[in-house]
Amino acid sequence: MNYLRLYIDKEGGVGIDECEQVSKMIDPLLDEADFISEPYTLEVSSPGLGRILKRPHDFEYAEGREVEVHTYRAIDGEKEFRGVLKAWDKNSVTIADGDRERIFEKNEISLIRLAFDF
């Protein structure tokens, strides 16, 4: 089975109703363009909670928001850190937890994503 996945996002998040609206808008355009020759299923969704940060756009979106950083090896006895994303570049990530700032080299990070609580 083939899938065409379209992720949409906006400030404040995206709900299921908005995903449905976008699907209904884009589906006829895709049918008209007919650029996919094989059968496929269109999926429209939000990147969701716990979005993994990979591309520069992801980091731009997350700047000023709370993130979770997981490291390959323990740093000061810990492998999981949480704080507000303050800065990033191609080599490092800086988070702040209260008055304390931590700088991680990207090659130390196994996973960085938006933090969420239930």
Give pLDDT tens digits along the chain (118 positions).
788 888 888 777 777 888 899 999 999 999 889 888 888 888 888 776 667 899 898 899 889 999 999 999 999 999 999 999 999 999 999 999 989 999 999 999 999 998 876 4
**What are the two backbone dihedrals, phi and then psi, of residue 27, each rounded to the nearest 5 degrees?**
-55, -50
- End-to-end CA, the chain: 34
Distance, CA of 93 to CA of 80 (rounded, Å): 14
In eight-state DSSP terms, residue 112 is E
Q: Which residues contact 113 (CB under 8 A, 6 or more apart)?
A: 50, 51, 52, 53, 67, 68
pTM of the predicted protein model: 0.64
Mapping DSSP to helix (H, G, I), strand (E, B) and coil, where does residue 15 land? coil
